[in-house]
């Protein structure tokens, strides 16, 4: 089974230790010790797997083991200096070699390297049953110029405890990813509530005797302790299994109770729904069917409210479109007048030209020749003035002709026809939206009628009912306040509207008109969000509150109490609290 082992120590010059010697022993590399002028090499039958991990800001030379630990030795000048910190951890033998390698690499990177340390890792596999890793860590921070000051925070006992705990978490995650059920823990037997006893050290003499099959006193003690510990572990496992069974049984009972409550609630809801369905008139059902066709799905209070809002926005969009179309139509009326003026002018020109030709071809007496010349000059002047008038009108029309791309009166009539067809389409779309919106409102009112009935049946408690009535009254007060603002703004808006329609407003008046129009729309949207689509809805809402108050007043006068109703409902198998 997977075991937990995590030991920590300091490599110190005061203990006669050397960072180079420690690194050579753990890595299996031959290293030159610059401080003592010695070569360190410890031969191993199975070569360790090694790696050096360093922060991103560390210079490249730290990945050379010999340069790294010689630099550490050089940076420490005191005779009792702490040279390095070492950890020894047992790797779960249930993992493959690659999985063990990745586990120790991730752990060292997250816990040490990311905090600024350089880690020299060596994995030993001399004993297949005891794979483990040695991790040597620097004690000083490093930058591109080399080692700097020592970080005393890394000596914290609390931090050491965190590293121990995090190692068990990393190992357990690796075991879980590998599909293994084994787990390890950093907690001691005492912390886990296991009353196990420690074994005694045999010593080499007793150990050799035990290997030869000769019983020793210490061996007998250890065998007794191991038997005791096995019983303790078995008892702890039994307690864990018992606790797990009790927890599962409690959860099962809770689930069964919840299922019974849900079933009772469904039955209660079904009965109330049947009663509520009988409240619907034939007209209500027709409106609900029509609403289902409009929505393309079963109507609910939520999707009806959303659809009503969407229809109102569609109507508002049509109003904006119609406003633009009416502006264009007003321009067309002015252009029609201009084209009529051109027609009248052209007619007067033809009449004058005919009269001019007749005058020129008519023979006048010797004494009336002067009169003839004066008449011809007058007719030519009239024709010139009419042509000038037509030219002035065409100058007025030209911007519109460029905008709508027409060159003749015939082209203009085609453009106007398209605009009128668009206007009619927008108008039809608006009225269709109004009809559908009214249908959706009636369908929503039918569902509200059912909802109010079910609510009155589900909340028979007077205290709860008072809370509902209080909420409805606050909502009604807010609606009345919003409606008051709407009436005030709309009345002001109506003052400007006639002058706006006749295009008689000044620029400042137009801005005030647009501001009032936008305010009315915003307040109207707020009313619709509150469920008010017409003035009668406000009156009906107040009437519902009054009816609800009257209903519970009558119930109390008849001797109705919540406890009596609870008793009757309990006999029917209903859960009143739900």
Q: Among positive and negative, which fits the CA dihedral 461, 462, 463, 466?
A: positive
**Cα separation of 320 and 401, whole Å?**
24
Beta bridge partners of 38: 33
Res 463: pLDDT: 47
Res 572: pLDDT: 44
**Cα separation of 163 and 160, whole Å?**
5
Res 569: pLDDT: 45
Q: What is the pLDDT of residues 481-537, one digit of tens each?
A: 777 776 777 777 777 777 766 666 677 777 777 777 777 777 677 666 666 666 666
Per-residue pLDDT for the chain (578 aa), expressed as one digit of tens each? 567 788 888 898 888 888 899 999 999 899 998 888 888 888 888 889 999 999 988 888 989 999 999 988 888 888 888 889 998 998 998 899 999 999 999 999 999 998 888 999 999 998 887 889 999 999 888 877 778 888 777 888 888 888 889 998 999 899 889 888 888 877 665 555 555 665 655 555 666 677 777 777 777 777 777 777 677 666 667 677 778 778 888 888 888 888 888 887 777 777 767 776 777 788 888 888 888 888 888 888 888 888 888 888 888 888 777 777 777 878 888 888 888 888 898 899 999 888 888 888 887 776 677 888 888 889 889 889 988 988 998 898 888 888 888 888 888 888 888 888 887 888 888 888 888 888 888 888 888 877 777 766 655 444 445 555 566 666 667 677 777 776 777 777 777 777 766 666 677 777 777 777 777 777 677 666 666 666 666 667 667 667 766 766 665 555 544 445 445 544 444 443 33
Can you say whether residue 179 is alpha, beta or left, with left for phi > 0 and alpha for psi between -120 and 50 degrees?
A: left
SS3 2: coil
**Cα separation of 543 and 226, whole Å?**
83
Instruction: Return the structure tokens found at 394.
Output: 């065409």
89 exposed, middle or buried (CB, 10 Å; 0-12, 13-18, 19+)? buried
Can you count the helices (H) and strands (E) in the chain? 14, 9
Beta strands in 184-334, from DSSP E residues, in sequence order? none
Q: What is the pLDDT of residues 193-234, one digit of tens each?
A: 555 665 655 555 666 677 777 777 777 777 777 777 677 666
**Cα separation of 560 and 552, whole Å?**
9
Res 236: pLDDT: 66
- Centre a 10 Å sphere on the Cβ of residue 140 and count the other Cβ atoms it contains: 19
Instruction: Return the structure tokens found at 516.
Output: 């009032």
**Cα separation of 511 and 468, whole Å?**
44
Res 153: pLDDT: 79
Res 462: pLDDT: 45
Question: Angle 203-211/217-277 helices, nearest 10 degrees?
Answer: 80
Asked whether the whole model's pTM tops 0.75, one would answer: no
Measure the N-to-C terminal CA separation of the chain; round to a whole number of Å: 51
Mean model confidence pLDDT for the chain? 79
SS3 457: helix
Contact 112, 141 (CB under 8 A): no
SS3 502: coil
Helix, strand, coil shares, percent, the chain, to 5: 70, 10, 20
- Centre a 10 Å sphere on the Cβ of residue 190 and count the other Cβ atoms it contains: 9
Q: Which residues, at least 6 apart from 75, have a Cβ–Cβ distance to it below 8 Å?
A: 140, 146, 147
Instruction: Return the structure tokens found at 504.
Output: 């008689």
**Cα separation of 532 and 541, whole Å?**
9
Q: What is the pLDDT of residues 252-301, one digit of tens each?
A: 888 888 888 888 777 777 776 777 677 778 888 888 888 888 888 888 88
**Cα separation of 542 and 559, whole Å?**
27
**Cα separation of 369 and 355, whole Å?**
16
Q: CA triplet 420, 426, 430: central angle to 5 degrees?
A: 145
């Amino acid at each position: 089974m997977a075991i937990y082992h995590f030991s920590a120590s300091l490599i110190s010059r005061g203990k006669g230790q050397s960072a180079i010697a420690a690194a050579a022993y753990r890595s299996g590399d031959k290293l030159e010790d610059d401080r003592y002028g010695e070569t360190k090499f410890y031969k191993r039958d199975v070569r360790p797997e090694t790696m050096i991990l360093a922060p991103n800001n560390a210079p490249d030379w730290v990945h050379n083991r010999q340069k790294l630990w010689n630099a550490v030795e050089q940076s420490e000048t005191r005779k009792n200096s702490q040279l390095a910190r070492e950890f020894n951890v047992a790797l779960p033998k249930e993992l493959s070699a690659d999985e063990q390698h990745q586990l120790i690499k991730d752990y060292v990177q997250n816990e040490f390297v990311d905090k600024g340390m350089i880690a020299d890792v060596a994995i030993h596999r001399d004993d297949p049953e005891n794979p483990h890793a040695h991790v040597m860590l620097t004690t000083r921070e490093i930058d591109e110029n080399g080692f700097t000051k020592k970080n005393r925070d890394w000596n914290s006992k609390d931090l050491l405890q965190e590293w121990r705990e995090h190692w068990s978490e990393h190992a357990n995650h690796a075991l879980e990813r590998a599909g293994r059920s084994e787990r390890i823990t950093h907690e001691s037997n005492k912390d886990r509530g296991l009353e196990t006893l420690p074994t005694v050290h045999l010593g080499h003499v007793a150990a050799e005797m035990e290997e030869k099959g000769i019983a020793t006193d210490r061996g007998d003690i250890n065998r007794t302790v191991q038997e005791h510990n096995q019983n303790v572990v078995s008892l702890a496992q039994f307690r864990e299994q018992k606790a797990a069974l009790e927890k599962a049984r409690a959860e099962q009972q809770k689930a069964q109770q919840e299922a019974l409550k849900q079933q009772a609630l469904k039955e209660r809801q079904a009965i109330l729904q049947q009663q509520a369905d009988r409240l619907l008139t034939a007209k209500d059902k027709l409106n609900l069917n029509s609403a289902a066709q409009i929505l393309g799905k079963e109507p609910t209070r939520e999707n009806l409210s959303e659809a009503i809002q969407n229809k109102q926005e569609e109507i508002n969009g049509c109003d904006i479109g119609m406003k633009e179309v009416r502006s264009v139509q007003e321009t067309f009326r002015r252009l029609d007048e201009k084209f009529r003026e051109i027609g009248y002018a052209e007619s007067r020109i033809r009449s004058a030209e005919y009269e001019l030709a007749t005058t020129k071809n008519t023979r006048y007496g010797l004494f009336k020749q002067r009169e003839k010349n004066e008449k011809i000059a007058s007719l030519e002047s009239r024709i010139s003035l009419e042509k000038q008038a037509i030219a002035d009108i065409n100058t007025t029309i030209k911007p519109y002709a460029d905008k709508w791309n027409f060159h003749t009166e015939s082209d203009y009539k085609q453009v106007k026809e398209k605009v009128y067809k668009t206007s009619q389409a927008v108008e039809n779309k608006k009225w269709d939206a109004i009809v559908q919106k009214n249908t959706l409102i009636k369908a929503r009112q039918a569902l509200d009628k059912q909802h109010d009935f079910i609510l009155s049946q589900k909340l028979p408690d007077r205290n709860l009912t008072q809370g509902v009535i209080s909420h409805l009254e606050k909502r009604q007060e807010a609606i009345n306040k919003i409606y008051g603002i709407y009436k005030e703004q709309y009345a002001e808006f109506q003052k400007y509207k006639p002058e706006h329609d006749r295009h008689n407003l000044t620029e400042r008046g137009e801005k005030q008109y647009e501001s009032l129009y936008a305010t009315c729309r915003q307040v109207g949207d707020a009313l619709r969000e509150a469920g008010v689509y017409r003035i009668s809805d406000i009156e009906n809402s107040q009437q519902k509150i009054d009816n609800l108050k009257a209903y519970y007043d009558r119930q109390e006068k008849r001797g109705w109490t919540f406890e009596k109703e609870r008793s009757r409902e309990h006999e029917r198998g209903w859960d009143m609290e739900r």
